[in-house]
């Protein structure tokens, strides 16, 4: 008799093509390849990025905007979990963790894994309190952080919370970029004749993309290309208009994997002015693809964007616009520096292998299933 496949429900707050969703997509694909039965569940649909994926459920067609819609979304989540009866629920993002854990327990899911992939600055105080309480009361069996520096943010949490934390660093697929810069720009409709800076990020104030736009008045030959979507776009567009550089800022929207390859191939420099991160997948992917990277001077980015002590990017306080511009210009003109960064960045794929991340999650799932089986005997 063939053994029943282990059933895993992967829950995300919203369906879009952002960093956390990239990781959950990788896990879904590779765990399924290992024989797990995977079900992807989103509390609501934000973009079309997962419309064609198999075994995907949207609990709400759009973001719930009132308490009644939130309740309806959670009732749908309960019904889905009750129907599929997963052996383990793996959840990403802060709202997903806090909302899904009680529903998963109500649906009698044997094990629940929370993932802390959101920087603390983007999490509302009430959600942080609820998360701390749920982790301490064992609603979460394990709590995954994606880098060692990120785990330091929980030093003052209760022991019952901290003992559940495990670090699994992100892994990522290495970008196969075959297009020339000119070909890539034609694919995306990016005008020629400019020094092109770019950033891939959700359009959110915490990403500080206005700091990147602020570079353009200082450098009339530079152009900024932004890949991503989000509620901060109207504000960013207004700022570009006010500074007289709107004609040099391109909003490409959400890109799929093929378009992202073209995006990276089109750039002269990748800028990442984000104010807070738990990992920073976008600049890691850019650096590994051979794009020179200038990132905000964050401890976590210094740690993640290095291999064997060698930096894979240049770091600067992006709040100092003049220094930010000078650093980008120095990297663009620094051929030896670019070569050094590229040599270090080529090893990022070995530091963050996709297979290691997936194997670590598989081992975690198997250990939780074994513990649940022992408890039921």
CB 8 within 8 A of CB 88: yes
In a domain, 101, yes or no: yes
In a domain, 2, yes or no: no
Residue 139 backbone phi and psi in degrees, to 5: -65, -30
Q: Which two tokens stand for residue 337?
A: 């520096």
Distance separating alpha carbons of residues 181 and 144, to the nearest angstrom: 38
Query: How many C-beta atoms surround the C-beta of residue 12 within 10 A?
Result: 28
Beta partners for 128? Answer: none
> Are 218 and 332 members of one domain?
yes
> Are 240 and 256 members of one domain?
yes
> Are 259 and 361 members of one domain?
no
> Are 218 and 335 members of one domain?
yes
Query: How many C-beta atoms surround the C-beta of residue 251 within 10 A?
Result: 15
Q: How far, in Å, are 18, 22, 69, 323, 363 from residue 171 at the CA level?
A: 15, 10, 35, 32, 15
> Are 94 and 215 members of one domain?
no
pTM: 0.89
| Interacting residues of 252 by C-beta distance below 8 A, sequence separation 6+ | 188, 225, 226, 227, 228, 259, 263
Distance separating alpha carbons of residues 327 and 119, to the nearest angstrom: 26
Distance separating alpha carbons of residues 301 and 279, to the nearest angstrom: 7
Residue where the block lists tokens 């997936």: 358
Distance separating alpha carbons of residues 316 and 338, to the nearest angstrom: 16
In a domain, 1, yes or no: no
> Are 84 and 227 members of one domain?
no
CB 141 within 8 A of CB 113: yes
> Are 331 and 361 members of one domain?
no
Distance separating alpha carbons of residues 38 and 354, to the nearest angstrom: 18
In a domain, 51, yes or no: yes
> Domain limits at 338?
181-351
Going by C-alpha positions, the residue among 266, 224, 274, 228 that lies closest to residue 249 is: 224
Distance separating alpha carbons of residues 59 and 71, to the nearest angstrom: 11
Per-residue pLDDT of the chain (377 residues; tens, 9 = 90+): 345 789 999 999 999 988 889 899 999 999 999 999 999 999 999 989 898 887 899 999 999 999 999 999 999 999 999 999 999 999 999 999 999 999 999 999 999 999 998 887 778 999 999 999 999 999 999 999 998 888 888 999 999 999 999 999 999 877 778 899 999 999 999 999 999 999 999 999 999 999 999 999 999 999 999 999 999 999 999 999 999 999 999 999 999 888 999 999 999 999 999 999 989 999 999 999 999 999 999 999 999 999 999 999 999 999 999 999 999 999 999 999 999 999 999 999 899 999 999 999 999 999 998 765 555 54
CB 268 within 8 A of CB 195: yes
* CA dihedral for 232, 237, 242, 246, sign (positive or negative): positive
> Are 340 and 247 members of one domain?
yes
Q: Write the CATH number for 262.
A: 3.40.50.2000
Beta partners for 144? Answer: 115, 166
Q: What's the structural domain count of the chain?
A: 2
> Are 114 and 149 members of one domain?
yes
Radius of gyration of the chain (CA): 21
> Helix 19-33 crosses helix 354-376 at what angle (to 10 degrees)?
70
Q: How far, in Å, are 18, 253, 290, 315 from residue 259 at the CA level?
A: 14, 11, 17, 27
> Are 70 and 87 members of one domain?
yes
Query: How many C-beta atoms surround the C-beta of residue 164 within 10 A?
Result: 19
Using alpha carbons only, give the angle 129, 133, 139 rounded to the nearest 5 degrees. Answer: 135
């Amino acid at each position: 008799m063939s053994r029943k496949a282990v059933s895993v429900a992967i829950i995300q707050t919203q369906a879009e093509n952002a960093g956390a969703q990239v990781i959950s997509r990788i896990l879904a694909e590779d765990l399924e390849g290992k024989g797990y039965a995977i079900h992807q569940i989103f509390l609501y649909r934000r973009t079309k990025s997962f419309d064609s994926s198999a075994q995907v459920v949207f609990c709400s067609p759009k973001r719930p905007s009132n308490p009644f819609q939130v309740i309806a979304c959670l009732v749908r989540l309960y019904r889905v979990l009750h129907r599929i009866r997963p052996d383990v629920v793996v959840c990403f993002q802060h709202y997903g963790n806090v909302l899904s854990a009680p529903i998963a327990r109500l649906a009698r899911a044997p094990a629940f894994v929370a993932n802390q992939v959101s920087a603390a600055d983007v999490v509302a105080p009430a959600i942080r309190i609820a998360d701390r309480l749920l982790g301490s009361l064992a609603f979460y069996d394990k709590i995954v952080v994606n880098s060692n520096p990120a785990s330091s943010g929980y030093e003052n949490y209760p022991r019952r919370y901290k003992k559940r934390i495990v670090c699994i660093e992100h892994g990522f697929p290495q970008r196969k970029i075959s297009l020339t810069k000119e070909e890539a720009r034609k694919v995306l409709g990016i005008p020629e004749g400019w020094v092109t800076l770019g950033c891939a990020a959700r359009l959110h104030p915490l990403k500080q993309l206005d700091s990147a736009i602020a570079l353009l008045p200082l450098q009339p030959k530079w152009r900024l290309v932004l890949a991503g979507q989000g509620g901060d776009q109207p504000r960013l567009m207004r700022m570009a208009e006010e500074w007289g550089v709107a004609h040099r800022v391109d909003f490409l929207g959400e890109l799929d994997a093929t378009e992202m390859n073209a995006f990276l191939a089109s750039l002269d420099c990748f800028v990442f002015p984000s104010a807070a991160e738990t990992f920073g997948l976008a600049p890691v992917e850019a650096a590994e693809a051979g794009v020179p990277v200038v990132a905000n001077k964050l401890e976590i980015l210094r740690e993640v964007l290095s291999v064997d002590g060698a930096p894979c990017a240049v770091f600067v306080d992006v709040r100092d616009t003049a220094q930010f511009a000078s650093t980008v210009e120095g990297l663009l003109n620094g051929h030896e520096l670019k070569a050094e960064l590229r040599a270090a960045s080529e090893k990022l794929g070995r530091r963050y292998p996709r297979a290691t991340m997936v194997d670590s999650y598989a081992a975690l799932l198997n250990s939780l299933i074994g513990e649940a089986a022992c408890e039921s005997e």
